[in-house]
A and B are shown apart, each in its own frame.
Chain A
Amino acid sequence: TQLLEQSPQFLSIQEGENLTVYCNSSSVFSSLQWYRQEPGEGPVLLVTVVTGGEVKKLKRLTFQFGDARKDSSLHITAAQPGDTGLYLCAGATSGYSTLTFGKGTMLLVSP
């Protein structure tokens, strides 16, 4: 059973602060996705990382895939209230396989 553990489970910060959330597993993934979910809505895809060591940037968000493709991190610079939401990582063990999700990190950014 592939498990994805996300930490921290909950993070409450002030606007302008930086933060990093983590997604770890003992399994190797062929790709890893990060999603953001707002209350009462479905997850929205932010990024997919495929290559070990890969770094992708999406405005103030920086995503990194571990060299061994077992872990990933999401760093947010100068967080804004609009960044509030549940951040989920999801891994696939082979192309087009089903996704295994972590429990998510709930981020609250206060003005």
Chain B
Amino acid sequence: DTGVSQDPRHKITKRGQNVTFRCDPISEHNRLYWYRQTLGQGPEFLTYFQNEAQLEKSRLLSDRFSAERPKGSFSTLEIQRTEQGDSAMYLCASMPFGGVLIDEQFFGPGTRLTVL
């Protein structure tokens, strides 16, 4: 197992375009989280899934953002009509639910989004 992977690592787009990011969690982890991190800040929670069910969404997740985890494995995060304020590092994390490693989330390398 190689850990959490994210694709792409970097994305540059023009304002108004749509972008989609992918996250592949650690294979036996049924919880998957998305965070956003801006410069000088810690990661901020966006949403999370348990298997294919999206259980919680932050108020940060405007209606331009949508996340899916259709088969309970990989997840996608789409941002429609991007704005310059969307520029950030988007982090994915996974965690086994029901195990002994309570609250220990394992992060991917992130996708750095730059909106011009």
Residues of A within 8 A of B (CB): 4, 30-31, 33, 35, 40-45, 48, 50, 88, 90, 92, 95-104
State whether A103 and B43 are in contact (beta carbons under 8 Å apart), knowing that A42-B107, A98-B56 are contacts in the complex: no
* Binding stretch for chain A, among B12-20, B62-70, B76-84, B108-116: B108-116
Bound Cα distance A43, B6 (Å): 13
Q: Are B105 and A99 in contact (CB under 8 A)?
A: yes
CB of B83 to closest CB in A, whole Å: 23
Q: Give 5 A-B pairs besides A48-B104, A103-B41 with Cβ atoms closer than 8 angstroms.
A: A30-B102, A40-B110, A42-B93, A98-B56, A104-B41
- Contact call B103/A30, Cβ cutoff below 8 A: yes
Q: Interface extent on B, as a size class?
A: 20 to 34
26 A-B residue pairings within 8 Å (CB atoms): A30-B102, A30-B103, A40-B110, A42-B6, A42-B93, A42-B108, A42-B109, A45-B105, A45-B107, A88-B43, A92-B102, A95-B103, A96-B102, A97-B103, A98-B33, A98-B45, A98-B56, A99-B33, A99-B43, A99-B45, A99-B103, A99-B105, A101-B43, A101-B44, A103-B41, A104-B42
Chain B CB within 10 A, most for which of A31, A35, A50, A96:
A96
B106 lies within 8 A of A101 (CB): no
List chain B residues, Cβ under 8 A from A103: 40-42
Instruction: Give bound CA distance, A101 to B103, whole Å.
Output: 13
Residue of A nearest to B58 (CB): A98
Chain B residues, CB < 8 A from A101 = 35, 42-44
| Residue of B48, B91, B104, B110 contacting most chain A CB atoms (<10 Å) | B104
For the complex, what is the distance from the CA of A99 to the CA of B93, rounded to whole Å?
A: 11
Q: Is the CB of A96 within 8 A of B109?
A: no
Q: Choose among B41, B91, B102, B112 the residue that contacts A50 (Cβ–Cβ < 8 A).
A: B102
- Neighbour of B110 across the interface among A42, A95, A97, A102, CB < 8 A: A42
Closest B residue by C-beta to A98: B45
